[in-house]
Structure 1
Amino acid sequence: MPFPTAFTGRALALALTLTIALPAAHAADGAAPPDHGRDRDREGVAIALDEREIRTAGIATTAVTPETGDLELSLPGTVAIPPQQLRVVAAPAGGLVETVLVATDESVTAGQPIVKLRSPDLVEAQRQYLAALSDEALAADRLRRTRLLWEGRVTPERELRVAETEAAHARSRLDERSQILALMEMSDAEIEALRTTRKIASAVTVHAPISGTIVSRNANPGQRVEPAAALLSIAALDPLWLNLQVPATRLSAVTVGSRVILPAYGVEGRIIRIGRTVDAATQSAVAVAEINSAGGTVRPGLAVAATLRIGQNGLPQWSVPATAVVRHRDRAWVFVREETGFRAKPVQVVAERTATTSIRGRLSPGDQVADRGIVALLSELAAADQD
């Protein structure tokens, strides 16, 4: 292969191609290239070059540096409320909002009154409850009299069974009406008062289901609402979630339990879940960390810069110049110096910085990798794919 023609021609052609193609998005570094065997992934691709060709192409090398300890990856994130800590307070019945007793961002305790409603639906539900109460009393009295007659052998057993069935149905209807009143926010004491006094109330007070903070208010005094309409949202704001946008190329380095730090707030947390899908527009996935609120300093909706600590997990890790890592066929590669030239080896990019890149791969202490003249080597790697 005459060096001045074929080798240089491929290098120049590839340089023009890279000028156009490099801004395009790339897939995860850990994905296996199609139609290539495992031997190539493990051993790499040999590129035969003599010393004259290496000098002419301007190829220079530097030694890989073993890395120890955790790496830090800076990622953008947004603070969010864990869904299990959020409660939406709905209208127990249709009606008119009479009073809203709390404001947005106000702290409340479980059981605290928060909204008063005046509701025709509540009036009708109480009327039906009282009717069911009367029916149950009549059915119970009829059963008592029928049982006395049956015991005196005045009435047949069939009539006793009919009376027992009617009494059971009446009790079921009364229980049903009692449950409806409970769903309409009437307490056991209020239902008992209705049973004894038979005085119907036209208003109902809605209470906070949990202790927390009012994060949104959908109802205002004088507003008419339908049954189950959202009135307020209450959330417990400690702990919180931090949704981190992790590039797809870095997902393989993130694990559940990895440490997350918010330097600006002095808050630390742990990754609790990693997204299984990648956003097509941003080519990133969401990793969720659980953090504390630092006494209310960290708040939902806050956009933050987070530092993710990436452990080595027992795998060898290396630091190389940022210019030593190239991407070809959806993989990251480095070119390792050998006696006969270079060997292109696939690697996994763990973290990227301005001057250096942290990688994992089949390297050894003392290995020399090319960090200049990369275009010429990349052209040879591309040519090897055509063989």
Structure 2
Amino acid sequence: MRVHHELLSREQLPFLALWLVLLSIPLAIALTKFAAVIFLLAFVWAGYIRNLRSHVFLLSVGLISLINIYDLFHYHLFADHLGPVRHIWYLWFLPLVAAMPWSRQRFVDLLRAFILALTVNGLIGVAQVLGWHFRNLLGQGPIGLAQTHITFSMMLASGLLLLLFAIKDKKLFWSPSVAVFIFLLLLWQLMFTIGRTGQAVFFILALLVLLWMFPRYRIAGALSVFVVAGIALLSPVLRSRWVQAVFDVYLFFNGWVITSVGLRLVYAHSALQMFAEHPFFGVGAGQFRAAYYDLAQRGLEPKLPPVVDSMIGPNNSFLAYLSELGLFGFVPLIVLMGYLWIRAWRQSEPLLRYVQVVTWLWFVLGSFADTFIWLEGQAIPFAILMAVHYVSSEEETPVTACEGVH
């Protein structure tokens, strides 16, 4: 009864709600917003709102939100109407989670919820391979309940990176063998999806993480870089992708832009063009496509066929903010990301330091390949895990992030 009472106590409810948020993301992201609202209400009811302080979290989130709201009304609620606000709604996790008192056990429970959800989805992926066709996967591979292979492969990459520490730290999971089993399940699922971005980010960061965790093997690790590079060049599947990428670049410089690489280069160039013309407030949140059509009409960018109309948009988080929000949105984002990195690197608790450094690297590296800053499946785990500042030992009284920063 005592455990049940503590679980449902007024102070514990926000942590339970956060657990539901991370549990829902890999399984039913449509429910994540409802879980987030429950968290917000529980946070206010528990009285943690009194712990909020004016620091980088609050100021950066406030500035970015105000700029998005300004754009929303300035552009008269265009066809995408609430899109600009929807794109940044999760940022409020940062100051709120930072104001909560954290213990190591609470943080471990949060990580377990995320890994548990990925594990359940992995088992559903196995069932799909065995013939349980309850949905059309559209050739994306065994992605379970996930919506798209691109975002899910990146989510899998983050889970695998967290499990690397779980295999080493026997306290994170009930046993290292459980962590190894889940790791192999998720690795299998990642390899059989067609989310190439997630696969690339995982292998790059996994190697760096292993070298960081095991200093005595750094010489062998340096040699393994060449081994991995050799596999990437010699593997028939990977080699075909490299060859295709090089051929796409060749086609781009010869006037044919309708390729995977070619379109990315076109959108990157157009984003810089938009920033050059609107350096302070950008073209407006959610207005990239309209601005691209204007550039194409003026002959500054190539006119694209209707078949790629739905694909027009920035494919990089930083270029997205630079082009749509200008310096007034881009600078707060960079300040926030820089602050998160410095604070993560200075963490003294090994688990918290590992999780936040790896989460930051995963999110930033992925942001160069896609608009992570707008994708809930990537942005919400990032915001929640990066917001926790101080993790006390089980014997200590948990303190809030605001109390822990001087």
* Structure with the largest fraction of helix: 2
Structure number with the bigger relative contact order (C-alpha 8 A, sep ≥ 6) is 1
Task: Answer yes or no: same fold by TM over 0.5.
Answer: no
Larger radius of gyration: 1
**Interval containing the TM-score (normalised by the shorter chain):** under 0.3
